[in-house]
């Protein structure tokens, strides 16, 4: 019998946010990582965080959901590879982690240096974890797509440099 795929939409409610409870991600986290990575970027995270109508902040400016996202990211560094890019889940997650400005006309504008540091760190970390699991280089295409969806272009020399440093 084949296991059912987890629901692609996960809602993080106020209680989970306030208690830093990552259990809403359990249907995803119980799947083998290799299976999840092969399925691609399909997870959409929605935050049910109550705010007064007059609150002008974007969700990523609220400290409580931001802290939840930081914990999720720290415990599951591969999470950005699973996040749906077309729905904005990846951009929203990165906005929880990286300094940015928000404009109603331009949307999220990440601090370029902060985004570059985050992406470079994440690429190095996930490439290292992939190599440690005996699958060196197998996620590079997915990593490159993740970076590109955030407007970050990778030069092939980046991967060559990582290979040379092993």
pLDDT values of the chain reduced to their tens digit, one per residue, 166 residues: 344 468 899 999 999 999 999 999 999 888 887 888 887 899 999 999 999 999 988 899 999 999 999 999 999 999 999 999 999 999 999 999 999 988 878 888 899 999 999 999 999 999 998 888 777 778 899 999 999 999 988 888 999 999 998 7
| Residue 54 DSSP label | T
Tokens of 109: 């504008």
Give the pLDDT confidence score for residue 131 in this predicted structure: 85
Q: What percent of the chain has pLDDT over 70?
A: 97
Return the percent helix, strand and coil in the chain, to nearest 5.
55, 10, 35
- Does residue 4 belong to any structural domain of this protein? no
Q: What does pTM read for this prediction?
A: 0.88
Give the pLDDT confidence score for residue 69 in this predicted structure: 98
Give the pLDDT confidence score for residue 121 in this predicted structure: 96
Domain residues for the domain of 147 are: 9-164
Give the pLDDT confidence score for residue 1 in this predicted structure: 34
Considering its fold, how many domains does the chain have in total? 1
- Does residue 36 belong to any structural domain of this protein? yes
- Does residue 3 belong to any structural domain of this protein? no
Query: Which of 74-78's residues contact partners 24+ apart within 8 Å by CB, and which partners?
Result: 75/22, 76/22, 76/25, 76/29, 77/122, 77/125, 77/126, 77/129, 78/33, 78/36, 78/37, 78/126, 78/129
């Amino acid at each position: 019998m084949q296991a059912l795929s987890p629901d692609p939409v996960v809602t993080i409610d106020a209680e989970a946010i306030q208690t830093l409870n990552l259990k809403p991600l359990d249907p995803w986290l119980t799947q083998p990582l290799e299976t999840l990575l092969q399925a691609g970027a399909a997870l959409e995270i929605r935050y049910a965080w109550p705010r007064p109508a007059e609150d002008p902040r974007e969700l990523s400016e609220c400290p409580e959901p931001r802290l939840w996202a930081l914990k999720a990211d720290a415990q599951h560094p591969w999470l950005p590879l699973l996040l749906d890019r077309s729905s904005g889940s990846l951009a929203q997650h990165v906005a929880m982690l990286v300094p940015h400005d928000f404009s109603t006309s331009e949307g999220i504008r990440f601090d370029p240096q902060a985004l570059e540091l985050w992406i470079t760190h994440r690429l190095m970390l996930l490439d290292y974890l992939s190599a440690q699991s005996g699958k060196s280089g197998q996620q590079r295409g997915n990593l490159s797509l993740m970076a590109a969806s955030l407007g970050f272009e990778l030069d092939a020399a980046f991967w060559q440099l990582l290979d040379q440093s092993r």
